[in-house]
Amino acid sequence: MADVEGLLRRALAPVDPPEDLGTRVRNTLQSISDLAAGELEGWELSAMGDPRRWVRPAVALIAGGVAGAGLLLLGLQRRGRSRQLPASADAAGTGHAHEGH
């Protein structure tokens, strides 16, 4: 039984993502957003009268919105992480992390 537990423990061990994963995701989302914007720029207003021609702009609008939201969330996450690091490092260095509790 111990062998099975050991195998499971090794199989389910956390794996760190590649270092460039954030950059790759950000670049992919930016590409999708740029392509969607290009598609929407090329859409003619005269096509609004024909609902059959709404599919590509609708897909571009949805894809661009999702990609833009993803970029926004990544930016907020990075900004939040950069604000937390100096504060936690300062608290750890001064030993005042638990004052007031």
Tens-digit pLDDT profile for residues 5-61? 888 888 888 888 888 988 999 999 999 999 999 888 877 776 677 778 888 888 999
64 domain-assigned: yes
11 domain-assigned: no
53 domain-assigned: yes
Exposed (0-12), middle (13-18) or buried (19+): which is 67, by Cβ within 10 Å? buried
Which pTM was predicted? Answer: 0.58
70 domain-assigned: yes
In which domain, by residue range, is 51 found?
Answer: 21-87
33 domain-assigned: yes
7 domain-assigned: no
C-alpha to C-alpha distance for 21 and 3, rounded to whole angstroms? 34
Number of domains in the chain: 1
